[in-house]
Structure 1
Amino acid sequence: MEIYLVRHTKPLIDKDICYGQTDIVVDDAGFPESAKLITSLLPEKIDAIYSSPLIRCGVLAEFIKQEKYPSLDIAYSHLLKEINFGEWENKKWDDINQIHLSKWMNDFVNEPVPGGESFNQLYQRVKLFITAVINSSHSAALIITHAGVIRAATTYIQQSGLKDAFAISCEYGCVTKFELNDLAEQVNILR
């Protein structure tokens, strides 16, 4: 089985803003070129398209479907949403209570954001989703989602430590391919 994890393109938001499940539109300036490049890296045939329901993923999912897989439907899942940053959503990082931020950064795996999630909570919902995809009859699946979800999925598939998840590179528009079989998995970063 092949699983393609694709991060959405650049959203239209300042770099110093904390956002997770805030629904943000994509930055139209670079979208066409990025979306075409992403699409070119995907295989000719897949069995399923999954996407986070947030706009920045849905726009890319619709583009890819129209350009390459017009006969497939997109299945949107709330399990693929980015980490919930709760009270920090849409705030400048510098405006967040630094005591709370420091506490979370020291143990982001277990420490939930006030009113939001810990990384472990994100991991548990992503694990549920990825397990269902792996147990499906698909030979290839495409998942358009967010950096946190891709990091959680990668740690689950590779059985690596959650505390190391943020060391996983995941730029806007990156495409990560997992080749899974009964014996092992192979990871290729396509972009």
Structure 2
Amino acid sequence: MSVIIWRHPKPINAAGICLGHTDLAVDARRTRNLAYKVQQEARARQLAPIIHVSPLQRSRGVGEFLQAQGWQVKVDPLLIEFNFGAWDGLPWEQIDRHEMDSWCGNFADYAPGGAENLKQLFSRVENWLSRTASETRLVIGHAGWINAALMISKNKPLPTSSKHWSSSVNYGKKSVLMLNRGSYA
């Protein structure tokens, strides 16, 4: 089975901020363009018109556009981006350097902004992947979630250092996860 996941379109006013649960809007044209890419992929692979999205509007908006085209939309809170807590929505330059160093020094266990740590993100992603049935799923996701899912699908260990964390996938970029049934029990 596989998961075909696109990173959501670039949100408005997101440059330079710590973006996790902050719910920023996306330009309607970018939302529509990504929805067309999803439709093309579904047609090419002869997949059912079902899209899985997070509750955040930068993901959900693509689903809403597709829903208006007759698609079924499944909003799932497990697909939401990493939760940066008190850091969320702040410019990176305003986040205390000591706290950033603490996170980098204890990458897997430290909860940036007092919210979610990397172990919790990986657990949440693994939980969603374990529920993936035998059919291919189409998803609009977030960079942190996608990075974790790619690492899990490649059987990579939980990163204990920031140097083991992959660069974020580009906005609107498609990733394909190949999953072995039963590997996430």
Q: Who is 1:4 aligned against?
A: 4
Q: Who is 2:54 aligned against?
A: 52
Aligned residues: 178
Secondary structure in 2 matching 1:17: coil
Give per-residue Cα distances to partners, 1:114-147, cap 9 Å, x unaligned: 32111111110111111011xx2x4221121111
**What pairs with 1:85-124 in structure 2 (closer than 5 Å)?**
85-124=84-123
Gaps (5+ residues) in structure 1?
185-191
Aligned equivalents of 1:105, 1:180: Cα separation in 2: 30
Gaps (5+ residues) in structure 2?
none
**What pairs with 1:40-189 in structure 2 (closer than 5 Å)?**
40-42=40-42, 43-46=45-48, 48-67=50-69, 70=70, 72-133=71-132, 136=133, 138-163=134-159, 166-167=165-166, 169-181=168-180
Secondary structure in 1 matching 2:113: coil
The residue identity in structure 2 corresponding to 1:35 is: A
Secondary structure in 2 matching 1:18: coil
Secondary structure in 2 matching 1:142: strand
TM-score, scaled to structure 1: 0.81
Q: Indicate the percent of aligned positions where both proteins have the same amino acid.
A: 29
The residue identity in structure 2 corresponding to 1:124 is: S
Contact 2:62 2:140 in 1 (8 A): yes
Contact 2:31 2:61 in 1 (8 A): no
Contact 1:24 1:56 in 2 (8 A): yes
Give per-residue Cα distances to partners, 1:90-123, cap 9 Å, x unaligned: 1110011110012112332221113211111111
The residue identity in structure 1 corresponding to 2:143 is: A
**What pairs with 1:10-25 in structure 2 (closer than 5 Å)?**
10-25=10-25
Dislocated runs of 4+, deviation >6 Å: none
TM-score, scaled to structure 2: 0.84
Aligned equivalents of 1:44, 1:160: Cα separation in 2: 31
Aligned equivalents of 2:173, 2:113: Cα separation in 1: 29
